[in-house]
Amino acid sequence: EAGQGHQEVQLCPGMSSGLSAGGGGQEGPAVVHIQVNDVNEFAPVFREPQYHAAVTEGKIYDSILQVEATDQDCSPQYSQICNYQISTSNTPFAIDRNGNIRNTEKLSYDRQQLYEIQVTAWDCGQKRALHTVPVHIEVKPVCKPGWQGWSKRVDYEPGTGSKQLFPKMHLETCGGPLSSVRTTVELQTSHIGKGCDRETYSEKSLQKLCGASSGSTDLLPAPSTATNWTFSLVTDSGRDSDLIFRFDGRQAAKIPDWVVPQNLTDQFTIATWMKHGPSPGLRAEKETLLCNSDKTEMNRHHYSLYVHNCRLVFLLRRDFSRADSFRPAEFHWKLDQICDKEWHYYVLNVEFPVVTLYVDGVSYEPYLVTDDWPIHPSQIDMQLTVGACWQGGEVTRPRFTQYFRGSLSGLTIRPGRIETQKVISCLQACKEGLDIHSLESLDKSIKFHFNPAQSIVVMEGEDLDHMNTALRKVSYINSRQFPTAGIRRLHISTSVQCFGEDTCISIPDIDAVVMVLQPSEPRITITGVERLSWPASDLRAPGGIALFQDLHIISTVKKTDNPTQHHAVRRPGVLEEIIHNLDYCDVLVLGEELRAEQESLQLQRSVLTGKHLDATNSTSGMSIYGVDSMSNYEQVIREVRYFNFQPSHVTERRFRLTCSELNGRYTSNEFTLEVSVGGLRSTGDPVSHMVAPPQYMQLIHHPSITNEMYPGVPSAATVVIVMCIAALVVVVVIGIYRIHITHQQEIRLSESSKDSDLTWDSAALNITVNPMEEAAEDVTEEEEEDDDDEDEEEDDDITSGESDDSEEEADVQLPTAKNKNWQKTTMSF
């Protein structure tokens, strides 16, 4: 056998071996050596059916893994493995004689994540393995500490409440032990509106909504015919109905005298939104927001608000106490917000001699107060300006000076009152921010806090798993029903501490965006009766007439079903009624304005009680404003009444009603109402006020209504008329008989003079006249007056039974009037 390469055989004496033990014929024991040579009959076999290894990209390894093969041959020549070879071509790997596999170049995770190569082996007899062995090498990316599992964009659907921003995010530390983690999430909204998504209602509506004191004066209203002093200013359009005025150092506005508060005392409030940056140039000049100075002759500044060297200064030299004393006159604040080129809300509460500044709801006391003498009252008129200060004392030409450079919005002044911090916070509150979803489930070991605007949240903890869970709960919320669409940027920064090590891992910052999708645009629709006819007597009545008794306001949005698959067909949108607020409704008089001496629109103040609404009135119409529900607006508008004390001068009036949400961002249809003025009518005579029934009302026709439209009288009505006439004849006959008896008795008792008899007869004739006979006798007279009567009927818009000419005619037509009353009771709507 190959396993016994050398054997020793002993031959016994006497046995014939056939072998020669030596050179002679000597007989005896002999040793025979037989060598068996090995044959290479087995091929190498690998110890494992396959091999696996993992490497990190970007590194050159001396040995990634080692493969091993064996051979069952016994001899060293055939049992040893002398060579390994990679049979797969074009791979970045090599193998040595010992089976160690290494990479020949740096591997890239982005290029290829997994390699599979085939390896074979040879023994020293050059016999190759019958089967190759697969080797799987996984390429892993370089472990980079940082946040993983987050999306760069998060879509936010309006009206969905709070939405988690990073539901699968976790922090990769690459195995490094950490003692604490601190993460800051910042929502960046400076490019939205006035610093964030706020309500874009008008300043008056917002103040009413937040419960601010009434009586404020808006110094920067929207340009219009009535507020024409802002026409020359530059407005920043495209800001979601936010009214913003930009000043570049060349614009200013004079406030008309009738707008300037004349009852300014030692207690008042000035409020404004301001966005301002550092002044250009080495020498900064004063930049005036608001200035009250002499209109002519002199250049005295009575009070002003200006910026100088990134300091906000309020000057107050008006004499309230009439005391000739040195007193505080200039109040200085030095704040970073004044020149950071961001929007901030400034409120100046003046309770002289104390002046407090609120910036974004946080109060600040002045760091410097300087004294001066007050300006005593004089005969010189004053001029209030915005954006610069008026120099009325210039000899050659009065002019503006100290121009403002920046943006302003909502500049108001309120005399006699100061605002509470609660109202100030409401006026400047953001409607979007960061939130923590399911806050009660947050681990108690996590410390967190928000800034006042809820645009920054800071979290800190020692346990990495708890921190991962906490960051997944950070959410975005926008409470506006119709938010401003667009991008909000997110910035996440993280710092870590390690256990007593000099160096620790660094976590890179990440940036993402929240995309607020476009909200469905509401369609506000006003419906109601569009034509009314009222008698002149009702217009003169103390209560006037209600113009919009049948008014309805609804709002709808178009809902579109999103397809679940890419090839699905999008179905047409359907209208869905929604509920939202309105911020103003205007009733505009079309054509000639109301004549103040004889016409007016009126609204009882009690109707506004308990609502966030107010109203202004003029000869051109009425404006109802304030943030309130559509139902409350309906209730108030239905109470608007029209008075006309001389209706003969006006035969028709037209009114237009429009409503708005979000300061004109969404407006309703223009609802036009026509009111025609009819003639006088007797008491109890029905006149239809509804010429055109509204769309939501169904008119049910009855036979009595149809018959009334044609000549002739229904049979039942004829019976009633005959019965009424018969009863009237009986009453007249009885009256004549009783008068006659009385007359005979008086003749018997005493004889009177002929003149008195005639007087008595004349009186008797007035009483005993037969209306039926007189009606017959007056036929000729009535025919002569037909033309005049017809003209009067057309002008006064009354029925043929209506007349104030004589009591006899009224009595004659009374049955017909009763008949018409009976017919109206059969009308159903």
What per-residue confidence (pLDDT) applies to 812?
A: 32
Decide: helix, strand or coil at residue 392: coil
Q: Are 153 and 108 in contact (CB under 8 A)?
A: no
Any residues with CB less than 8 A from the CB of 534 and at least 6 apart, and which?
Answer: 545, 675, 676, 677, 678, 687, 689
User: What distance in Å separates the CA atoms of residue 414 and residue 419, rounded to the nearest whole number?
Assistant: 9
pLDDT score of 498:
85
pLDDT of residue 281: 67
Dist CA 430 CA 476 (whole Å)? 13
Strands 671-678 and 531-535: parallel
Q: Does domain 146-191+431-516 bear CATH number 2.60.40? A: yes
Quote the pLDDT of residue 713: 38
CA distance 391 to 298: 8
> What does CATH list as the number for 203-428?
2.60.120.200
The Cα 397–Cα 514 span in angstroms is 54
Q: Which pLDDT score, from 0 to 100, does residue 395 have?
A: 65
Cα separation of 400 and 411, whole Å?
Answer: 19
**Residue 389 in contact with residue 304, Cβ under 8 Å?**
yes
Q: What whole-number distance in Å separates Cα of residue 136 and Cα of residue 63?
A: 14
In terms of C-beta density within 10 A (0-12 exposed, 13-18 middle, 19 or more buried), how is residue 500 classed?
Answer: exposed
Q: Return the H-helix or E-strand segment holding 730.
A: helix 715-749
Looking at residue 822, its pLDDT comes to: 33
Q: What is the CATH number of domain 522-558+574-678?
A: 2.60.40
CATH number, domain 45-140: 2.60.40.60
Same fold, 45-140 and 203-428: no
Structure tokens at 470: 């906490």
Residue 828 DSSP one-character state: B
- Phi, psi of 762, rounded to the nearest 5 degrees: -65, -40
Residue ranges of the chain whose pLDDT lies below 70:
1-26, 237-241, 281-283, 319-324, 395, 501-503, 560-573, 679-720, 722, 740, 742-829
Residues 6+ apart with CB under 8 A from 661: 482, 522, 524, 555, 580, 581, 582, 583, 667
Note the pLDDT of residue 694.
38
pTM greater than 0.75: no
Q: Please tell me whether the peptide bond between 353 and the residue prior to it is cis, using omega within 30 degrees of 0.
A: yes
Q: How many CB atoms lie within 10 A of CB 691?
A: 13
Token reading at 16: 């014939």
- Provide the pLDDT for residue 502: 58
Show me where the domains of the chain are located: 45-140, 146-191+431-516, 203-428, 522-558+574-678
Burial (Cβ within 10 Å: 0-12, 13-18, ≥19) of residue 37:
exposed
Burial (CB count within 10 angstroms: exposed 0-12, middle 13-18, buried 19+), residue 638: middle
Longest dimension (CA), the chain: 221
